[in-house]
Amino acid sequence: MSGGSARSLAKGSAPPGPVPEGLIRVYSMRFCPFAQRTRLVLKAKGIRHQIININLKNKPEWFFKKNPFGLVPVLENSQGQLIYESAITCEYLDEAYPGKKLLPDDPYEKAYQKMVFELFSKIPSLVASFLRRQNEEDCSGLKEELRKEFSKLEEVLTNKKTTFFGGNSVSMIDYLIWPWFERLEVLELNDCADHTLKLKLWMAAMREDPAVSALLTEPKVFRGFLSLYLQNSPDACDYGL
């Protein structure tokens, strides 16, 4: 599994060659929460892969041939097939590769995970808005909205009476939502979870998961990246290398 700490490719870089057989490639960025979903699934399922990091502030021209939207993550296999949209990449990996199934076989339980995913769907944009906030008023309003969304997730855990969102062991839905919860501490948003105790317990349990802990980013490295990223620096994506 190579290239996790490789420098990102930017404008003017040569397009990478085809993906060797027996490997799958993920176009990624070390700090992107959406790409982290895909990397978590690759790790959890033990899938042999290579990572090519993309400089999202200075994208290579060839990258738009991989994904017309120019976003990470994108999967490319040795047949040249391209899959994008993080949730779609995760489901593809679960279906295409053997070993531990992260999505349940039971049709209802699978649908349930997708309904929980919908319940989570406002959180990424709220966190992104929080990053771009201009003043204190924005801040408290956004935190209040975030608390509301956390309450919805708390309700799920309360109703299910399990540690994780899919049952008593980690499954797809937990990996899909984790990246934003990992970032709460460094964004000083941890207090938004003060009243959602089961969610806090879930966060602690997730940190014990082997795939999650293998992919954790040190808070100070993330802070360094964030500061550069918010200034639109083309060096942001390689911070810490």
User: Which residues have a catalytic role annotated?
Assistant: 32
Q: Rank residues 96 and 226 by Cβ distance to other proteins and give the closer one.
A: 96
CB of 146 to other proteins, least distance (A): 19
Q: Under a CB-based contact definition with an 8 Å cutoff, are residues 161 and 119 in contact? A: no
CB of 119 to other proteins, least distance (A): 9
How far lies 50's CA from each of 3, 53, 58, 110, 119, in Å? 6, 10, 21, 29, 32
Q: Rank residues 121 and 169 by Cβ distance to other proteins and give the closer one.
A: 121
Q: Rank residues 108 and 208 by Cβ distance to other proteins and give the closer one.
A: 108
* Beta strands 49-53 and 24-28, pairing class: parallel
| Residues across the chain | 241
Give the binding site for other proteins (CB under 8 A): 77, 79, 81, 83-85, 88-89, 91-92, 95-96, 107-108, 110-111, 114-115, 118
CB of 18 to other proteins, least distance (A): 16
- Helix residue ranges per DSSP H, the chain: 33-44, 63-66, 86-96, 107-120, 123-131, 136-160, 172-182, 197-207, 210-214, 219-230
How far lies 228's CA from each of 5, 186, 236, in Å? 18, 15, 5
CB of 212 to other proteins, least distance (A): 24
Q: Rank residues 53 and 113 by Cβ distance to other proteins and give the closer one.
A: 113
